[in-house]
């Protein structure tokens, strides 16, 4: 059975606050560690009241400091928002504090709206078109010093933090293949290009000092509950949140509703059907069939699961049930 990991958007639920969300993230990370998940990644988003991980490196430090063995990282850092040297120093520090446990996933999107992106980048000259050069610059900061090098990342140098390329389109697949890096595809919100991106990454992959062969991690929305009905009910929080974000009304994660169709307009329904077409929602039996089908379709080397559930204990239960069915799948393999 391939490894399973956790992608946590550190959701802030209606009626709650950021402090509770960050406490829940650490609690979930400890839970995932005990269940045998491989990684726990957090994502950079800005100007979104329902996501508490904007200062991603800080939240990673919070989670890594409260766990012992699970790998902790960024899924990801939106590199055009930052100078590569700053990210090298941040993640070099994290790796020095937690040796061998830190991952750095890099994305090209702003992780926010255009107005906020301008506010984030107003002191930088780099743009998204510099992304490949910025990735290479950042990776060089993590290696040994080169002759004549004037700028160093202290800490960062010789930390060799593993770098991943993240993507929701064909661009990231091509870059990851060209640089010989592991690739994480955002099929949890952009499945339209999934098959094509996977094929490009594998076909064009060039072996590197980092990897001899492609390594593909796929994002997947999953909600597992004792029954199909309960899982579908819990999933309505994520459906509502996605619809609000895509229509320019981001907010805190709403509670689930009995009839989600009644609260969504036709445009939102069509959009969700496309965005969430790869989601797996249901009882352990239903979830196992869905997960097996997803792995067979993509040939993933690893699956990173996100479960945006309003009730924190129900979210933990979802990951517990998933871990149990993973063990069943492993025994049957």
Burial letters for 182-195: b for 16+ Cβ neighbours within 10 Å, e otherwise? bbbbbbbbbbebbe
- Distance, in Å, from the CA atom of 211 to the CA atom of 179, rounded to the nearest integer, reads 9
The enclosing H or E element of 275 equals helix 266-275
DSSP category for residue 12: P
pLDDT tens sequence across 54-93: 999 999 999 999 999 999 999 999 999 999 999 999 999 9
Report all structural domains of the chain as residue ranges with CATH numbers, in order of start: 1-161 (3.20.20.30), 215-333 (no CATH)
The pTM of this model reads: 0.95
pLDDT digits (tens, 9 = 90+) for 244-283: 988 888 999 999 999 998 988 888 888 898 889 899 999 9
Tens place of pLDDT per residue across the chain (333 aa): 899 999 999 999 999 999 999 999 999 999 999 999 999 999 999 999 999 999 999 999 999 999 999 999 999 999 999 999 999 999 999 999 999 999 999 999 866 777 787 787 755 555 557 899 999 999 999 999 999 999 999 999 999 999 999 999 999 999 999 999 999 999 999 999 999 999 999 999 999 999 999 999 999 999 999 999 999 999 999 999 999 988 888 999 999 999 998 988 888 888 898 889 899 999 999 999 999 999 999 999 999 999 999 999 999 999 999 999 999 999 998
- CA angle at residue 123 from 119 to 153, to 5 degrees? 120
Q: Are 172 and 183 in contact (CB under 8 A)?
A: yes
Burial 258-288 (b: 16+ CB within 10 A, else e): eebeeebeeebeebbeebbebbbbbbbebbb
Angle formed at CA 73 by CA 107 and CA 164, multiple of 5 degrees:
45
């Amino acid at each position: 059975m391939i490894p399973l990991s956790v992608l946590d958007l550190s959701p802030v639920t209606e009626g709650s606050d950021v402090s509770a969300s960050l406490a829940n993230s650490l609690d979930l990370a400890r839970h995932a560690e005990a269940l045998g998940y491989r990684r726990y990644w957090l994502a950079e988003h800005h100007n979104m009241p329902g996501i508490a991980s904007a200062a991603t490196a800080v939240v990673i430090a919070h989670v890594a400091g409260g766990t012992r063995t699970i790998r902790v990282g960024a899924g990801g850092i939106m590199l055009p928002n930052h100078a590569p040297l700053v990210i090298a120093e941040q993640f070099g520090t994290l790796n020095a504090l937690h040796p061998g446990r830190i991952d750095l996933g890099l994305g090209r999107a702003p992780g926010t709206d255009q107005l906020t992106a301008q506010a984030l980048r107003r002191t930088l000259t780099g743009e998204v078109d510099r992304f490949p050069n910025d990735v290479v610059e950042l990776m060089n900061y993590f290696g040994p010093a080169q002759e004549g090098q004037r700028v160093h990342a202290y800490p960062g140098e010789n930390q060799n933090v593993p770098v991943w390329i993240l993507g929701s389109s064909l661009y990231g697949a091509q870059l990851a293949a060209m640089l010989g890096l592991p690739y994480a595809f955002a099929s949890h919100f952009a499945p339209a290009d999934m098959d094509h991106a996977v094929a490009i990454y594998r076909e064009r992959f060039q072996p590197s000092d980092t990897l001899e062969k492609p390594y593909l991690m796929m994002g997947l929305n999953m909600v597992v509950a004792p029954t199909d009905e309960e899982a579908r009910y819990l999933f309505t929080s994520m459906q509502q949140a996605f619809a609000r974000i895509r229509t320019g009304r981001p907010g805190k994660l709403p509670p689930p509703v009995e009839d989600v169709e009644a609260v969504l307009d036709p445009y939102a329904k069509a959009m969700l059907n496309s965005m969430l077409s790869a989601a797996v929602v249901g009882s352990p039996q239903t979830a196992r069939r869905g997960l097996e089908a997803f792995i067979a379709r993509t040939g993933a080397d690893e699956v990173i699961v996100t479960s945006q559930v309003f009730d924190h204990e129900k979210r933990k239960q979802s990951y517990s049930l998933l871990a149990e069915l993973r063990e069943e799948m492993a025994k049957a393999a």
